[in-house]
Amino acid sequence: MSTLQTIASLIYLISAVCYVLGVHMMRSPKTARKGNGLSAIGMFMAVIMIIIEVVADGKITATGWIVLIAGLAVGIAYGVVKARKVPMTDVPQLVSLFNAVGGGAAAVIGIFDYLMKGDGVALSLAFSIPVFLDVIIGGITFSGSLIATGKLSGKVPGKPITFPGAKILNIIVVLGMLVAAWFMIATPTNIWFVILGLAMALIFGLLMTLPIGGADMPVVVSLLNAFTGLAVAFAGFVINNQVLIIAGALVGAAGTILTLQMAEAMNRSVANILAGGFGTGDSDSGSAGPDVPVDVKETSADDIGLQLAYAQNVMIVPGYGLAAAQAQHEVAELATVLTEKGINVNYAIHPVAGRMPGHMNVLLADVNVPYDQMKQLDDANPMFESTDVSLVIGANDVTNPLARESGNEISGMPILDVDKSKSVVVIKRSMSTGYAGIQNPLFSLDNTQMFFSDAKVGLQDIVAATKQYLDD
């Protein structure tokens, strides 16, 4: 090892330590931002070190520099602008997009090194196996994550997309991948082999993601994120760089755990989600079962305003509908109006409220809702007993008392005990079912009133009405 190599190895080791500690710190809200900062410092050190190595090595051509700098400039400009400008509601699809290009970069590295070997060269298994895995996994995450981005942003229909012959096509693609594996791993290099492998991976990514419903996408994005970590680790084997191996494996493992936790919070198994065909997350079919009690009480913005104005404790229960209608500003305004008059306002946030676990907290924090007003499930549930008005906005399944009974789709899912509060007001566009596709008996309880409206418009009316009563 030359002196420079020794220094480089040490710097990469330190940067790897930064990633591990960074992830560790991100487990707590207090240290999360510092953790991400620490991980960024580690990244910065690794980049500086590779620049020094490339310069010292001196093999890079002038065109190589131009290509590299131009590529980095384009990528950084695009990434930073997107990341700064994106509205908080659209963060999930942006993360998925960043994940797609990460997988793409890993695949490109594998393809590059494979082709660099020249045509008709016999490969050692120590090289050919990681190259194959890098290209395949990178390709799957690239196309899969792009579809996930499209589904989350509505550019690709959120409903599960299936077509006749999909099963057969799946089998063909898997066989194609095995053929590619054989040619890439066990036979001398040939450009067509790597093209075949990449093509199969890209098609597999599409086929894997298309049949999955929009509401399951967060789990899929998280899973593909873990995949990208593995692809990057294999790219590390290919170029023999240990910081890629460490960071990639770290993300692969941590991403897997995160995926399992997300699926658990949604009361679904990962296998079940990947099988696809379940729910869209924005169902408006309203194909209600016949056993539905539809005798609900409707109410008006004016009446809700009156109830809120004379309440002591108000609990706001935000859900997917709130995020979809982008009504977080209106909610925050209502809460401000109420708290100014000394009414206690809290938010009961179900782990899977919004488009992703924890997404609702981000949306509310964005509109300056104080962190201590956001109550997580376990803290919120004991508070419903003493709540005068629970305002359920665009949430459905997470409040469904059926979850306490057995024998239905959501049995056993932890729910918010909204029905224990003195009065429940549900703001919803229609009587349609939620993501799980089952009716919610909460809506027909004696203490429940329904207000059929778009969350944003409805809340504006409620704010106006509440102000009027509070000012009297």
Q: What is the C-alpha separation between 432 and 439, in angstroms, rounded?
A: 8
Site for another protein in 258-287 (CB under 8 A): 258, 261-262, 265
Task: List phi, psi (to 5°) of 316.
Answer: -100, 130
Catalytic annotation present for 397:
yes
**Identified binder of another protein from the candidate list 89, 109, 140, 343, rule CB under 8 A:** 109
**Would the CA dihedral through 364, 455, 428, 158 be positive or negative?**
negative
80 binds another protein (CB under 8 A): yes
Q: What is the C-alpha separation between 295 and 292, in angstroms, rounded?
A: 9
Q: Where are the alpha helices (DSSP H) in 117-241?
A: 125-153, 166-186, 191-209, 217-239
57 binds another protein (CB under 8 A): yes
70 binds another protein (CB under 8 A): yes
372 binds another protein (CB under 8 A): yes
Nearer to another protein, 205 or 458 (CB): 205
104 binds another protein (CB under 8 A): yes
78 binds another protein (CB under 8 A): yes
384 binds another protein (CB under 8 A): no
368 binds another protein (CB under 8 A): yes
249 binds another protein (CB under 8 A): yes
Residue 394's region, left for phi above 0, alpha for psi from -120 to 50, else beta, is left
- For residue 452, what are the β-bridge partners? 428
CA distance readout (Å), 21 to 17, 50, 133: 6, 22, 28
Which stretch in 44-52, 274-282, 311-319, 448-456 sits in contact with another protein by CB under 8 A? 44-52
**Identified binder of another protein from the candidate list 39, 390, 453, 460, rule CB under 8 A:** 39
Name, in order, each residue with C-beta under 8 angstroms of 213's C-beta and a sequence gap of 6 or more: 158, 159, 160, 276, 277, 278, 279, 280, 281
Q: How far is the CB of 201 from another protein (least distance, A)?
A: 15
Nearer to another protein, 46 or 425 (CB): 46
Site for another protein in 218-247 (CB under 8 A): 218, 221-222, 225, 228-229, 232-233, 235-237, 239-247
H or E segment to which residue 78 belongs: helix 62-85
Q: What is the C-alpha separation between 17 and 318, in angstroms, rounded?
A: 38
Catalytic residue among 134, 216, 397, 417: 397
75 binds another protein (CB under 8 A): yes
Q: Which residues of 298-308 are buried (b: 16+ CB within 10 A; e: fewer)?
A: ebebeebbbbb
Q: How far is the CB of 75 from another protein (least distance, A)?
A: 3
* Order of strands across the sheet that contains 374-376: 374-376, 344-349, 313-318, 389-393, 423-428, 448-452
Closest CA to 248 of 272, 265, 225, 268: 225
Which stretch in 36-44, 197-205, 284-292, 384-392 sits in contact with another protein by CB under 8 A? 36-44
84 binds another protein (CB under 8 A): yes
Which stretch in 305-313, 368-376, 416-424, 426-434 sits in contact with another protein by CB under 8 A? 368-376
| Ordered DSSP codes for 335-364 | HHHHHHTT-EEEEEE-TT-SSSTTHHHHHH
Site for another protein in 112-151 (CB under 8 A): 112-113, 115-116, 126
Q: How far is the CB of 417 from another protein (least distance, A)?
A: 17
Site for another protein in 335-364 (CB under 8 A): 349, 351-352, 356-359, 361-362
2 binds another protein (CB under 8 A): no
87 binds another protein (CB under 8 A): no
Q: Are 323 and 317 in contact (CB under 8 A)?
A: no
Residues catalogued as catalytic: 397
